[in-house]
Structure 1
Amino acid sequence: MHPYLNFEDQLNQLKNRGIIVNDKAFALNALQNISYYSLYNGYKDLFLASKSPEKFKNGTTFEMLYTAHWLDLSMSNILFKYSLVVEKQLKTIVSHIVARNFSVDENRYLNSKNYSTTKAQSGKFSDVQKAINKAKFKNSVCKYYMETENNLPPWIAIQGISFGSAINWYSILKEPHKLEVINSFLNLILKDGAFLKSEDKQHFFKICLGQVYEFRNLSAHGNRTFKLQLPEKQKQVSRYLSAAKIDVYYPNNNGVISSRDTLFSVIMSMLILINDDYVANSLISEIKNLFETYSDSLIFVDSNIYDLFEFRKDSLDLLISFFDYKFS
């Protein structure tokens, strides 16, 4: 059982573990606002020379721990914001297709006959129904529509449900309607001879959307963006990237694309899905500004910001080149 330690004791414990404290007042204030656990347990592995016993690299300072936390939070906040753009885009397109093809009347557009009847999708249909019913009481806009019109048109209903439920709503669409959604997302990258069969489009879109959603869940629960490693579930993604003619925008080793489950791949998935050039350019600019702010120094003993996020030096150039290709 860990004993209670006041902030002075916590700071002394850090010193005893070999961490240099240059500014005591700054460190105490940080511990009161961020917490010992978040700073030490969250980032110590970035500074250890050995894990057993724990030994920090010479020159490791409290300020480095603090900067690691701030960089991590900054990157997470940037990407979280743009995951909201992907979510809104999905909700807009799905609700548009539902309204146009089924009805604006809730009882009609939520008729199970409109959707896939496979056993795998039955639970997702139930989730969408439950999420919309819950939104009627929890979401202020949905409550207003129910009170004034006694109906939720799909573009209102979908605003009151979660990203996950919106993905489920997309997933239960029948194939022609599902492909409408996919094409509206991918039409700007499938050009210059690029071709994906309908089945491959669905798999590729699922991977990109899944990465954004997975990152969003990890970020919301406080997981680090440093050395991000999403669960690797898809093995054929390189084939899809090649067929779409965008594999050249991914870091590769001797022609083989590096892991598709890193922070860089999450950013690329966002850029693939975001079809507003102003927003996509803003995403790249915010990431570029963050890197440029810290790019000139070894801020963590023997590592720079590229090392921490496992970004190659040409990664930003690849993002910019992909933007130019997509929106040319």
Structure 2
Amino acid sequence: MGFYILNMFEKNATSISQQIEILKSRGLIISDTSFAEHQLANISYYRLGEYWYVMQDNKENHTFKPKSRFEDMMSLYNFDRELRFLLFDVIERIEISLRTKLIYHLSHEFDPWWFQNFELFQDSQALVKTLSNLQEELERTKEPTIKSHNQKHKDDKRFPPSWKSLEQTSFGSLSKLYGNLKNTIKSKDIIAEEFGAVNHTYLPSWLQSISQIRNFCAHHSRLWNKNLPSTLRLLSKPPYKWIADVPNQNDFKYLYIHLCLMKYMLNIIEPENIFTKRLNALFEKYSNVDPNALGMKSNWQDEDLWK
């Protein structure tokens, strides 16, 4: 029996010098060829393409707008890179706080193995997946606390207690554990209130949003000019400082409202944070970056939230 493959996609690999010639032929100004060669040798053509895409006036022919420069595209790339570093630092503080609150409140309301108690959760299948991921993380870890626990308690087939186990798990798993808790669990509302979310209705969507952005940061994915799929639920009257204008559904696809949410939570966790100063300094450093691509509002620094 013969096998036939018709209409196969064909594309040949191009050298760095060929890539540069292609870009020049399409109208991209490359004044320093050595600089461009160095960048393309360390950052793939395909990855950089996400940043010069908006500089093209014809997306099918890939031709560039007049005065489009390779150096300006690299500024966009470096801005995005430094933005991810900044957000990763902010999210780390939120993640550690969430982990601490989950361990503390649930362990006191129930016991240190609450995260294995299926009676506390809405979706058993989702919990099985979360616990399976946790098991893999615990098997991979080289943390002395986990190894020591397993050696001392070989006959105990449970996970190590929450203050050991959940220190090894991801923000995404923590977010799913919280969201999957039954709404009757007192700690679910207590944790939401401590994050300024009033009750359990809103916090799961906040954590989902932040977890998604954390994954983009961890995998070096573009944040600049990215449409973010979101199911954010925001309070109409938050108990702490917030932005003056009520965002509409279209705003949720831009990064700005998600930055506001991180700032809101960070202000509670670390009231003396310098997130505003660092974000503003980033825009000043890369003055050619259009803030509108992130959905930034004019004079955002003057909002009570960001002061």
Structure 1 residue 71: deviation in Å?
Answer: 1.0
What is the TM-score normalised by the length of structure 1?
0.78
Determine if contact 1:136/1:143 at 8 Å carries over to the other structure: no
Q: Secondary structure at the match of 1:74?
A: helix
State the match for 2:4 in structure 1: none
State the match for 1:192 in structure 2: none
Correspondences of 1:227-242 after superposition (within 5 Å): 227-234=225-232, 237=233, 240-242=234-236
Residue deviations 1:208-229, cap 9 Å, x none? 2121112123333443212232
State the match for 2:305 in structure 1: 322
Q: Does residue 237 of structure 2 align to residue 243 of structure 1?
A: yes
> Percent identical across equivalent pairs?
21
State the match for 1:202 in structure 2: 200
Structure 1 residue 246: deviation in Å?
Answer: 6.7
In structure 2, relative to structure 1, the CA distance for the partners of 1:137 and 1:14 (3 Å cut) is: same
State the match for 2:149 in structure 1: 145
Correspondences of 1:1-328 after superposition (within 5 Å): 1-39=10-48, 41-104=49-112, 106=113, 110-113=116-119, 115-116=120-121, 118=122, 121-141=123-143, 142-150=146-154, 152-174=160-182, 175=184, 176-186=186-196, 201-234=199-232, 237=233, 240-244=234-238, 249=243, 251=245, 259-274=251-266, 275-277=268-270, 281-295=273-287, 299=288, 304-318=289-303, 321-324=304-307
In structure 2, relative to structure 1, the CA distance for the partners of 1:168 and 1:84 (3 Å cut) is: same
In structure 2, relative to structure 1, the CA distance for the partners of 1:63 and 1:271 (3 Å cut) is: same
CA distance in 1 between counterparts of 2:306 and 2:72 reads: 33
Determine if contact 1:98/1:154 at 8 Å carries over to the other structure: no
Structure 1 residue 81: deviation in Å?
Answer: 2.3
Determine if contact 2:251/2:295 at 8 Å carries over to the other structure: no
What is the TM-score normalised by the length of structure 2?
0.83
CA distance in 2 between counterparts of 1:207 and 1:265 reads: 13
Q: Which amino acid aligns with 2:243?
A: Y
Unmatched tracts of structure 2, length 5 or more? 1-9
Q: Secondary structure at the match of 1:249?
A: coil
Structure 1 residue 248: deviation in Å?
Answer: 6.0
Instruction: Point out the structure with the larger helix share.
Output: 1
Q: Secondary structure at the match of 2:280?
A: helix
In structure 2, relative to structure 1, the CA distance for the partners of 1:99 and 1:294 (3 Å cut) is: same
